Amino acid sequence: MALRIVASRPDPALVTLPWSTPLEQWDDEVVVPLPRGLSRHVVRIVQLRDRIYAVKETQQEIAFREYRLLRDLQRLALPAVVPQGVVTGRATAEGEELPAALLTQHLRFSLPYRSLFQHGLAPEQVPSLVDALVVLLVRLHLADFYWGDVSLSNVLFRRDAGGFAAYLVDAETGELKPTLSDRLREHDVTLGTENVYAELLDLAASGAAGLDPDAVVERLQSRYAQLWHELTAREQFSAGEMWRIEQRIERLNDLGFDVEEVDIVTDFDGDQVTLQPRVVELGHHARELRQLTGLVVEDAQARRMLNDIAAYTASRGYGRLDREVVAQRWLHEIWEPIVAMIPPEQQGKLEPAEVFHEILVHRWFLSEQAGESVRLLDAARSYVATVLGEKPDEAITADADAQ
């Protein structure tokens, strides 16, 4: 049986992996010690030179279907792991057929929910985890994607300014529909509440303290309903209340969504106006920051950084300068010196944007203790010296690989 590798961006090193060995027998020569979520399949995280992949054994037909679906989600710019390829024709040295394998790109600085709890996730942070799952589910539903297996186990989480951003990691049961019905949306939400409830009960049974599964699933349902309504509901008002259009758009921007198209309909005499957002996309603040600085970060991180750029503008008296000019000065005077403070051996602790967020929080505490405002760069030095080193590693770094 001939080995076959179908890949969107072929990596020649893929052929060097031990494909003739069952995945569960792969050893430390290729497997890296990164946390994996629960899965019905055998999954391994492997490193080839500077690239890290997740490899999952499954049936050939399922592997190709999920690979193509993940590529569709990537083209739609939805938050999901990036597919890399499918390997078929695997067999042992004795000729025994082995399952096909789906390869996805490892999402740097991402963690499964169980690892977050192992890293000290406090019970009061669980609502942020649920909110991230809700935003992911709403975004998928807006794109007419039926998930079919909503759960914390099928998501990877990245830290986002003290909260989280969620990425779909398992699309095996998913399907892109021409139009997603309300019945299928409701089924996804119901299934999600059942799965999350069971996962939290399991966590509680294994020793996680302070969890309230009933409150969590109630939040999941209510937050989904609120966000879906805000993004899709029609709104009627009189012609004299046109300011409500801008108000609605501002509310959506505050949620992190861009409104790219609005459908406005007036009645015959123009006295009543009906408004409905047509195209909404998450990442309003992230896109704004990227346009100003070129930095690519999560949306809540971008909001914190944009706020700091605004404070920097005011403190330097740069109000009359173009925002692009001020943002570039902030980049060179604030961002780059702070990133340079992170020791190489600690670069796997947190993403630079999350480090920046934590430094802002740290500065607030230092300022409160001192009774006066502490300079950001001084707060950064204090944070690196006293806090960052105590954080658990959440990514593999070049230094770690060399050890």
- Of 92-96, 100-104, 179-183, 384-388, minimum mean pLDDT range: 92-96
Cα(237)–Cα(121) distance, integer angstroms: 44
Domain boundaries defined on the chain: 4-106, 111-231, 235-282, 295-402
Residue 357: CB partners within 8 Å, gap ≥ 6?
161, 162, 301, 304
Q: What is the pLDDT of residues 277-295, one digit of tens each?
A: 655 567 788 889 999 999 9
Nearest to 81 by CA among 170, 173, 172: 170
pLDDT of the residue at 259 = 67
Cα(273)–Cα(176) distance, integer angstroms: 33
Cα(13)–Cα(307) distance, integer angstroms: 43
Q: What is the pLDDT of residues 22-51, one digit of tens each?
A: 999 998 888 887 766 667 788 999 988 888
Residue 364 CA: distances (Å) to CA of 331, 352, 358, 370: 21, 19, 10, 10
Considering only the C-alpha atoms of the chain, give the largest distance between any 2 of them, rounded to a whole number of Å.
Answer: 81
What the block records as the tokens of 251 is 């509310």
Q: How many residues does the chain have?
A: 403
Q: What is the pLDDT of residues 8-26, one digit of tens each?
A: 777 888 888 999 999 999 9
Q: Is the dihedral of CA 146, 149, 154, 156 positive or negative?
A: positive
- Quick one: what percent of the chain has pLDDT higher than 70? 90
Residue 294: CB partners within 8 Å, gap ≥ 6?
none
What the block records as the tokens of 203 is 């966590």
In which band, very low, low, confident or very high, does the pLDDT at 168 lie, cut at 50, 70 and 90? very high
pLDDT of the residue at 33 = 73
Q: What is the mean pLDDT of residues 215-235?
A: 89
Count helices and strands in the chain by DSSP H and E runs: 13, 13
Q: Give the containing element (helix H, strand E) for 274.
A: strand 272-282
Nearest to 79 by CA among 127, 130, 143, 129: 143
The CATH architecture annotation of domain 4-106 reads: 2-Layer Sandwich (3.30)
pLDDT of the residue at 290 = 92
**pTM beyond 0.85:** no
Q: What is the CATH code for 111-231?
A: 1.10.510.10
Across all residues in the chain, what is the average pLDDT? 87
CB atoms within 10 A of CB 373: 12
Nearest to 126 by CA among 195, 200, 198: 200
pLDDT of the residue at 402 = 38
Q: What is the mean pLDDT of residues 56-73?
A: 95
Q: Indicate the angle between helix axes 284-293 and 299-316, nearest 10 degrees.
A: 50
Chain Cα centroid distance, residue 288 = 18
Q: Indicate the angle between helix axes 323-330 and 299-316, nearest 10 degrees.
A: 100
